Copies of this chain bind each other. A is one copy, B any other.
């Protein structure tokens, strides 16, 4: 599929999709004229990438991580090195703390919203 459709289906801008490519996160075939052509499984991959970005991982970590992930069609094509596992474990713990923080903030908002609803 073309970049426009991929953008529409993932909710990620064309700009970002091209950026992902420069970062080695996303590859594409090219038409004879040079237009990008993506396989169906690019949709899942882009969504994963977007989620990982949202989780605060940087391009480089995502790039290292991607080959170790279970892909849409089949198992992972690589196993994380001990070094990478250590990094990812740290990221995991950071994400855990982030989730806890977000829950507290959500509770705070709920409290204020509820107080206003009761008034």
Q: Once the chains bind, are A101 and B54 in contact (CB under 8 Å)?
A: yes
CA distance A34 to B79 in the complex (A): 57
Q: Once the chains bind, are A105 and B109 in contact (CB under 8 Å)?
A: no
Q: Once the chains bind, are A95 and B102 in contact (CB under 8 Å)?
A: yes
Number of this chain's copies in the assembly equals 2
CA distance A68 to B98 in the complex (A): 24
Q: Using A65-B112, A79-B116, A119-B79 as known contacts, say yes or no to A102 and B102 having CB atoms under 8 A apart.
A: yes
Q: Of B82, B91, B103, which one neighbours A99 at CB under 8 angstroms? A: B103
CA distance A40 to B28 in the complex (A): 57
CA distance A48 to B70 in the complex (A): 38
Between-chain CB contacts (< 8 Å), 20 pairs: A52-B105, A54-B98, A57-B105, A65-B109, A68-B115, A68-B116, A76-B112, A79-B119, A80-B115, A81-B116, A82-B116, A85-B116, A85-B117, A88-B113, A92-B106, A92-B110, A92-B113, A95-B105, A95-B106, A99-B106
